[in-house]
């Protein structure tokens, strides 16, 4: 896949047989807000074209992730949230513990699977 774009225009994604070799580290690439925003836009467009629900968080994504999962829980038999950190789990515990208006049977269907690092 070859990603091309011009200043102040939408990024164009073209398929090709060319293998791209990164010239910068992932950390440096994502440190640039424009690069990060373009990458997120490309991913959202791709997932949306595959009929996958996508949301882009303007601020902290943790609350958006938990609230989106809880919103889906009443109409889906199971909702899976995969995370590499504990923040999402802490937010869900807060919802259980402090009695926000929520039927707990929906929370039970939300599964958190953490990466092997924890």
Cross-strand bridge partners of residue 16: none
Select the highest-mean-pLDDT range: 4-8, 14-18, 22-26, 83-87. 22-26
pLDDT in tens, 20-47: 677 888 899 889 999 988 998 899 899 8
- The confidence score (pLDDT) of residue 5 equals 39
Contacts (Cβ under 8 Å, ≥6 apart) of 107: 70, 73, 92, 95, 96
Write the pLDDT tens digit of every residue in 56-81: 888 778 888 888 888 887 888 777 77
Asked if pLDDT for residue 92 goes beyond 70, the answer is yes
Distance CA 110, CA 83 (A): 13
pTM metric for this prediction: 0.52
Q: What is the pLDDT of residue 65?
A: 84
Do the Cβ atoms of 112 and 89 come closer than 8 Å? yes
Q: Could you tell me if 64 and 96 are in contact, meaning their C-beta atoms sit under 8 angstroms apart?
A: no
Distance CA 101, CA 61 (A): 21
């Amino acid at each position: 896949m070859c990603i091309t774009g011009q200043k102040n225009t939408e990024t164009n994604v073209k398929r090709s047989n060319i293998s791209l070799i990164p010239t910068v580290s992932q950390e440096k690439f994502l440190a640039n807000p424009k690069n990060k925003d373009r990458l997120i836009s490309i991913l959202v467009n791709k997932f949306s074209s595959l009929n996958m629900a996508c949301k882009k968080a303007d601020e902290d994504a943790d609350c958006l992730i938990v609230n989106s999962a809880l919103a889906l829980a009443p109409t889906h038999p199971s909702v899976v949230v995969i995370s590499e950190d504990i923040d999402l789990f802490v937010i869900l515990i807060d919802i259980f513990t402090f009695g926000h208006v929520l039927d707990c049977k929906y929370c039970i269907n939300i599964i958190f699977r953490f990466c092997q690092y924890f």
